[in-house]
Structure 1
Amino acid sequence: MRKLIDLPDNAAGSQDLPVRERPSKGKTGSSMKHESAEKHVTGKAVYVDDMPEYPNQLHVAVGGSQHAHARIKLMNLSAVRAAPGVEAVITVKDVPGHTDIGPVFPGDPVLVEEICEYVGQPIFAVAAKSFEQAKKAIALAEIEYEVLDKVLTVEQALEKNHFVRPTHQHVRGDSSKALAEATHRIQGQQYVKGQEHFYLEGQVSSVMPTEDGGMMVYTSSQHPTEVQKLVAEVLNVSINKVQVDVRRMGGGFGGKETQAAPLACIAALLANKTGKPVKYRMSRHDDMVMTGKRHDFLNTYDVGVDEQGIIQGAEIMVAGKCGNSPDLSDAIVDRAMFHSDNAYYLNNATVTGHRCKTHTVSATAYRGFGGPQGMMVAELMMDDIARHVGEDPLTIRKRNLYGVKHDHIKTADGQVDERNQTHYGQTVEHNVLPELIEQLEASSDYWQRREEIKAFNANSPFMKKGLALTPVKFGISFTVQFLNQAGALVHIYTDGSIHLNHGGTEMGQGLFLKVAQVVAEEFQVDLDTIQVSSTRTDKVPNTSPTAASSGSDLNGMAARDACLRIKEGLFKFASEHYGVAEDKVRLQSNHLVVTNDAGEEQWVPFADFVQQAYMGRVPLSSTGFYKTPKIHYDRETGKGRPFYYYANGAAVSEVLVDTLTGEYKVLRTDILHDVGRSLNPAIDIGQIEGAFVQGMGWLTTEELVWDNLGKLQSNGPATYKIPAVGDTPMDFRVKLLEDRPNGEETVYRSKAVGEPPFMLGIAVWSALRDAVSSISDYTISPPMNTPATPECVLNSVMAVREQMANTDAADA
């Protein structure tokens, strides 16, 4: 165990890194630092905005709508065109090709023609010699609007049936009958607000016209292929004339899956018109106002339980605030529906998902992709059931876990119910959660601390502590089947060095490093002999976005496939060259090892062997390809296997709440997380720590605020608070679940780690509810929407006290 940093006496932090038997050469299983770590901290890492500018490069600013819903009646841009430094102004009439750049469904005009549907929606774009000149020019536009009725909230959309896509439903058994017959029936609701991505590097694209009428695009995007396709479509050229390059992003979190493409399209349109290179870099204010965020969700539940708090049936509604267009909302609300059970067997269940249209900026992908919002209703239910039946919330959680059998619960044929099938028909296999929770329960001293906290609260009139253990069961795969594919390209040069390219993008998560480790493992060479290059559409085509926690799974397997193809030729050559059977040659420790019939070994340096193979005209390059097996989903029936496997984890958080002000601190968090057989434990633990803090921020401090006109008020770091170092748990302990390789055939039996730990932050929210509930001696389950800011927590305290006073008055 090693300390993360030097901490004050009242704080602690630890990471448990698995011990590996063999010495590390940078292959899989080794804790290697991020491949660009030194470049990040020294400022040498080159982002799009750091690239050298061309002498004649132009800069973009966009004029956006001043109203949430309006018709453009008149538009005069003559003063804009005449402004100093302006070289081009475009409207939708200047688009030679497609004008709608919706990523899946139509609804996202590259520039508005007539109807504006959110404040800031792009209407026209300016290219000037400097960004400052472009910004000043857009302010000179004269636009006359006819203001139209607007829908700004989920509640309004539900009332008006105002949706971007049709409602969808999952049904298992007879929920109405189960609810009617249950011993206890409980209802509840919560409003879960969205989240700003707030990446360090904002949205940016830089484009250069090519001599053949195409475009070279440098962009900060998680989806280079989508950028390539949409730029080609707006320019009305074939896709092969557009090339996209992504070396790195300063954070993505889903915000650069679809939202990067409009910048590239607008810059390309202006470059096409002027014949000059064009860069479009959004200011932080414009980025926050004009690009999508995590969806708000209104969740409701109606649950029936037996005397032990075990769920007999449930009816759940998840309603996402999708904004003005579909974007990715269909799949995001689907995932919220898929994860509305989190880790719990719902038994007879009906889950309904609404995709609410509002006149706000279109919500988009964000780490977890709807899953976190769906899990929130499951954890709300668990806490509420526990308070209703008078049990500890952890006891109720454990009783309702998938795969936990109860002798008194039988199937129709009299057998003990396995309780392992989800409400959408997928069987939960290779389930480690009961064991994982048991380990964390013990290592965190949950029950001892529970008693200590009860004693503290009983003797502390105003300061209250709370404790919660919450699990995560997160499905891994794109729920849209065709996206579950990846390609890779591997070259070996004659000096033994290796070049790697694949379809995944690097946004700081360590994907390039992990895939390079896979290649190092296959060729048994040191990591420093492998060079990973920018993700480029002319090297690996038709790529899926780097999203859905699938980056390592898909691209690691594709790279491995390329390596295996090369190795097949190399081993065949070695067998012929050295006159031994193929099973007598192997790669090990930067060498080819040849074993003769006498058992004697000849060690040939890898570089020398590669040179021999080259002289023998053996292919030293190959593409690789991978598609995820087993997955399928029938949308008509709402049944299938949308996920290849589940990643799991759990967190215990302890908080201290001042019930007079609503202020609080996170005192301690213990995390045990399942990553299968880790490709890189240090990277995985870093992802877990960062995801937890980001998830905690979503649920506690990060509050998006719109006014009654549909304008975003939390539009900068002064009005939007992401977690800082002082907000992290004072005592922070993170450990990987050991000796539990993935039950499915993933790359070296590893598991995804990008999104699943984000939901561990729910433990903080649940602990805050626990602290407030202690005011009532744990008999009342407090109302608490998110984010649970101090104001929200104080309102929750007042609501509990009011309910207690009403109960006392009724008893009197």
Structure 2
Amino acid sequence: MTERSVGASRRHDSAEAHVAGRAVYIDDIAEPPGLLHLAFGLAADGHARLLGIDLDAVRAVPGVVGVYTAADIPGVNDVSPVKGDDRLFADGEILYPGQPLFVVAATSVEIARRAARKAVVDVEPLPALTTIAQAKAAGSVIEEAQRMARGDAAAALDAAPHRISGTLEMGGQEHFYLEGQVALAVPGEDGQVHVLSSTQHPSEIQHLIAKVLGCSHADVTVEVRRMGGAFGGKETQAAAFAVAAALVAAKTGRPAKIRADRDDDMAMTGKRHEFSAGYDVGFTPDGRIAGIRIELASRCGATWDLSSAINDRAMFHADNCYWLPAVEIVSHRLKTHTVSNTAFRGFGGPQGMLAIERVMDAIAVHLGLDPLSVRQVNLYAPGRDVTPYHMTVTDNVAPEIIAELAEQAEYARRQAAVAEFNARNTVLKKGLALTPVKFGISFTTTHLNQAGALVLVYADGSIQINHGGTEMGQGLMIKVAQVVADVFAVPVDRVRVTSTRTDKVPNTSATAASSGADLNGMAAFRAADTVRARLADFLGDRFGCQAGDVRFTADGVVAGDELVPFETVCRMAHLARVSLSSTGFYATPHIHYDRATHSGRPFLYFAYGAALSEVVIDTLTGEHRVLAVDILHDVGRSLNPAIDLGQIEGAFVQGMGWLTTEELVYDDRGRLLTHAPSTYKIPTAGDRPARMDIRLWAAGLNVEATIHRSKAVGEPPFMLAISVFSALTAAVAATAPGKGLPALDAPATPERILMAVGELRARG
């Protein structure tokens, strides 16, 4: 008897291939005959009127086959996800530095890149708005400010016994996927094109290629086997690369490939949104919030991209785990002459959550209370369970998780030890913080909550799955394979998940919003269950029993008195002309949302977790070290504990990077100055805390009927890293006790920590 597939810790389906270097990515595929290599010509300066481009010198380079601009597009010059405002090539106006102006097709990568630099671009520079403050002062927005409210915040603020206000700045973040943006397009018959793209959203790539080429969706097939990381950076940002490759393939009749080098990739693709947050909060002597007003503003960049939904989600998560009895949240979406920011793990949620956690720390410092006690007194509870967007929280387990983690990780003892350490040391100061996470699961754009799958059972008992989700290293494929293996009670190694292809499963949503396993797992389950029901009907007729009494077990299929090996059942069914393939479809139930009033139920459920982080800072240099991290996270009934634990650890470290080391620096024209690993610092193995205790919450169970009662795990753990930022804030506060909350912004680089220490000590 073999163990059940679902719930077992299975290694990633490509783990051995990853380690051995056998996993095939797009740039590993043998180059087809006649392949053309592409390179974009990029805008060097920034916002300007585009008067003309002289490409004669580009075309004259030996090995250049063609150069293509906006004038060469047969369809519509648009690669945007929503609003039709992202041009494949600039036309008439350059909106930001790094915007593509043209693409070169040549016989080698080196020739294409060298030739692209020889263009003579005639521009008339225009004023550039590059910061949140500049755009706000100029009234430059992508859409009007949005307001979410419940109760009378102004009256509650006026009546509160205590009232404070403050601000927080938080920087953006580069995705820094290991595999850069890449695409390979191969022309087919009758104007068709097959495109391999490193994208989270194959269907969107398909639709945009068709729009630019002026053909039907059916003429375009987009395929994704795997990505070497994405994190949201390949949800919309892959489009320009894939479309450019398809355009050249269509124009020349030859295969075309484009692979961005790291500098160009970083310069021309969007990041996590920079945010500023202001708060005005009234509260009682025990720290309980009575009323609050939060004002958010983000730098969206030059075009719409996904900024509207991202900023909406920042508003959705500005409550985190806390009941805000009277609340107003205002969000400003600012248009700047910089590359348009885009999806990134958490999709605005981290920025909203960081704001409310700063409020909790500010209240604790003002009242001289332990920050955890302030957090606990403000948690959602029965009768205090309606969000600012009027959704009732029915699955709240944050209090239990926090209490369990605090006991398990010895919060009280360690807090006392930190205080003792700080009393004895003048140069080094420690900080400790425990912060929770409540993250809504579902696309907040309701129609995206759907998925399809195709399950094929072969006559030898092997099984193939195709679904609309994409694999970017997160383990989606192995989880779906486990789900399908469980339906038939067969070993998971009998199941093969193939490349995601738009000609197998159409009109899919992006693999994003932490919903990959929820949506595609359920769609695959339904497809497999349909085939299983056909087999049960067939065996019931064959062996004279009820279909409902047929049991699929690890030892074989039990039908009446017969025990038949699964592969034998499949062969019998094939000979009896029983269909062994089926599609499956799933649409998330119960969700609805009215964006005009910012009210409804945008999420099917919430994922919860908590993290306790201990840090130490050097007050002479501003450097810090994360000493220890304890995490307790709710994944419901885990589909694969090993994969989920890996996701939690990776998300936490990536979140830690956003809040501590990853600093994006731009000049006054909007050019990215930190566009390489030499100047942009992601966490390394040496930055991982020496002790990380990560546990899945044993009591986890999704109250909603998700696939096997599991919960999403991609994004929620990212925000556990807010505990590091709160701990750093506490460490800085310890350098001058009694002088208030430090003015520490994110990322908390050594420079910022040092400045925060100096500012705090200088206060009267």
Provide the residue aligned with 1:311 in structure 2.
289
**Does 2:83 correspond to 1:123?**
no
Provide the residue aligned with 1:419 in structure 2.
384
Structure 1 segment 346-357 matched on structure 2, within 5 A: 346-357=324-335
Contact 2:479–2:639 (CA under 8 A) maintained in structure 1: yes
Structure 1 segment 208-357 matched on structure 2, within 5 A: 208-357=186-335
Between 739-748 and 326-335, report the one with greater CA deviation: 739-748
Partner amino acid, structure 1, of 2:7: G
- In structure 2, C-alpha distance between the alignment counterparts of 1:707 and 1:297, rounded to whole Å: 18
Contact 1:591–1:603 (CA under 8 A) maintained in structure 2: yes
**Does 2:583 correspond to 1:615?**
no
- In structure 1, C-alpha distance between the alignment counterparts of 2:214 and 2:179, rounded to whole Å: 30
Provide the residue aligned with 2:457 in structure 1.
492
Paired residues in the alignment total 764
Provide the residue aligned with 2:559 in structure 1.
594
Provide the residue aligned with 2:727 in structure 1.
767
TM-score scaled by length of structure 1 = 0.93
Partner amino acid, structure 2, of 1:61: A
TM-score scaled by length of structure 2 = 0.99
- In structure 1, C-alpha distance between the alignment counterparts of 2:739 and 2:758, rounded to whole Å: 15
Q: Secondary structure at the match of 1:775?
A: coil
Provide the residue aligned with 2:676 in structure 1.
716
Among candidates 27, 37, 49, match of residue 15 of structure 2? 37
Contact 1:157–1:357 (CA under 8 A) maintained in structure 2: yes
Among candidates 380, 397, 401, match of residue 432 of structure 1? 397
Partner amino acid, structure 2, of 1:59: H
Structure 1 segment 326-405 matched on structure 2, within 5 A: 326-403=304-381
- 1:460, CA displacement in angstroms? 0.7
- 1:378, CA displacement in angstroms? 0.6
- In structure 2, C-alpha distance between the alignment counterparts of 1:649 and 1:23, rounded to whole Å: 32
Among candidates 647, 652, 659, match of residue 612 of structure 2? 652
Partner amino acid, structure 2, of 1:298: S
Provide the residue aligned with 2:177 in structure 1.
199
**Does 2:144 correspond to 1:144?**
no
- In structure 1, C-alpha distance between the alignment counterparts of 2:657 and 2:648, rounded to whole Å: 14
Between 560-569 and 522-531, report the one with greater CA deviation: 560-569
- In structure 2, C-alpha distance between the alignment counterparts of 1:45 and 1:101, rounded to whole Å: 29
Contact 2:225–2:470 (CA under 8 A) maintained in structure 1: yes
**Does 2:609 correspond to 1:631?**
no
- In structure 1, C-alpha distance between the alignment counterparts of 2:361 and 2:496, rounded to whole Å: 50
**Does 2:461 correspond to 1:483?**
no
Among candidates 718, 724, 731, match of residue 691 of structure 2? 731
- 1:741, CA displacement in angstroms? 1.0
Partner amino acid, structure 2, of 1:576: D
Do the aligned partners of residues 765 and 165 (structure 1) sit closer, same or farther apart at CA in structure 2, a change above 3 Å counting? same
Q: Deviations over 1:192-224 (max 9, x none)?
A: 100000000000000011111021000100000
Among candidates 619, 629, 641, match of residue 669 of structure 1? 629
- 1:585, CA displacement in angstroms? 1.2
Contact 1:704–1:714 (CA under 8 A) maintained in structure 2: yes
- In structure 2, C-alpha distance between the alignment counterparts of 1:760 and 1:647, rounded to whole Å: 12
Do the aligned partners of residues 630 and 778 (structure 1) sit closer, same or farther apart at CA in structure 2, a change above 3 Å counting? farther
Percent identical among aligned pairs is 54
Contact 2:168–2:745 (CA under 8 A) maintained in structure 1: yes
TM-align CA RMSD: 1.0
Provide the residue aligned with 1:19 in structure 2.
none
Provide the residue aligned with 1:785 in structure 2.
745
Do the aligned partners of residues 779 and 398 (structure 1) sit closer, same or farther apart at CA in structure 2, a change above 3 Å counting? farther
Q: Deviations over 1:480-539 (max 9, x none)?
A: 000000000001100100011100000000000000000011110000110110000000
Contact 1:526–1:590 (CA under 8 A) maintained in structure 2: no
- In structure 2, C-alpha distance between the alignment counterparts of 1:90 and 1:266, rounded to whole Å: 9
Contact 2:222–2:502 (CA under 8 A) maintained in structure 1: yes
- 1:227, CA displacement in angstroms? 0.5
**Does 2:433 correspond to 1:468?**
yes
Provide the residue aligned with 2:408 in structure 1.
443
Contact 2:78–2:208 (CA under 8 A) maintained in structure 1: no
Q: Secondary structure at the match of 2:175?
A: coil
Unaligned runs of 5+ in 1: 1-21, 406-417, 596-600, 807-812
Partner amino acid, structure 2, of 1:659: T
Contact 1:388–1:779 (CA under 8 A) maintained in structure 2: no
Q: Deviations over 1:198-256 (max 9, x none)?
A: 00000000001111102100010000000000001100001100001100000000000
- In structure 2, C-alpha distance between the alignment counterparts of 1:439 and 1:514, rounded to whole Å: 28
Contact 2:2–2:554 (CA under 8 A) maintained in structure 1: no
Unaligned runs of 5+ in 2: none
Contact 1:464–1:772 (CA under 8 A) maintained in structure 2: yes
- In structure 2, C-alpha distance between the alignment counterparts of 1:205 and 1:511, rounded to whole Å: 22
Partner amino acid, structure 1, of 2:608: N
Partner amino acid, structure 1, of 2:664: L
- In structure 1, C-alpha distance between the alignment counterparts of 2:461 and 2:557, rounded to whole Å: 12
Among candidates 480, 486, 495, match of residue 521 of structure 1? 486
Partner amino acid, structure 1, of 2:605: Y
Among candidates 754, 762, 778, match of residue 714 of structure 2? 754
Q: Deviations over 1:173-198 (max 9, x none)?
A: 11000001111111111111000000
Q: Secondary structure at the match of 1:212?
A: helix
- In structure 2, C-alpha distance between the alignment counterparts of 1:620 and 1:527, rounded to whole Å: 18
Provide the residue aligned with 1:508 in structure 2.
473
- 1:602, CA displacement in angstroms? 2.6
Contact 1:69–1:117 (CA under 8 A) maintained in structure 2: yes
Q: Secondary structure at the match of 1:776?
A: coil
**Does 2:162 correspond to 1:184?**
yes
- In structure 1, C-alpha distance between the alignment counterparts of 2:54 and 2:700, rounded to whole Å: 65
- 1:23, CA displacement in angstroms? 5.2
Q: Secondary structure at the match of 1:75?
A: strand
- 1:55, CA displacement in angstroms? 2.4
**Does 2:419 correspond to 1:454?**
yes
- In structure 1, C-alpha distance between the alignment counterparts of 2:255 and 2:362, rounded to whole Å: 58
- 1:590, CA displacement in angstroms? 4.7
- In structure 2, C-alpha distance between the alignment counterparts of 1:303 and 1:702, rounded to whole Å: 30
- In structure 1, C-alpha distance between the alignment counterparts of 2:656 and 2:574, rounded to whole Å: 54
Partner amino acid, structure 2, of 1:55: P
- 1:775, CA displacement in angstroms? 2.1
- In structure 2, C-alpha distance between the alignment counterparts of 1:62 and 1:643, rounded to whole Å: 40
Among candidates 509, 516, 521, match of residue 556 of structure 1? 521
Provide the residue aligned with 1:8 in structure 2.
none
Among candidates 693, 698, 702, match of residue 742 of structure 1? 702
- In structure 1, C-alpha distance between the alignment counterparts of 2:437 and 2:680, rounded to whole Å: 27
- In structure 2, C-alpha distance between the alignment counterparts of 1:261 and 1:36, rounded to whole Å: 26
- In structure 2, C-alpha distance between the alignment counterparts of 1:572 and 1:779, rounded to whole Å: 75
- In structure 1, C-alpha distance between the alignment counterparts of 2:312 and 2:602, rounded to whole Å: 10
- In structure 2, C-alpha distance between the alignment counterparts of 1:437 and 1:55, rounded to whole Å: 59
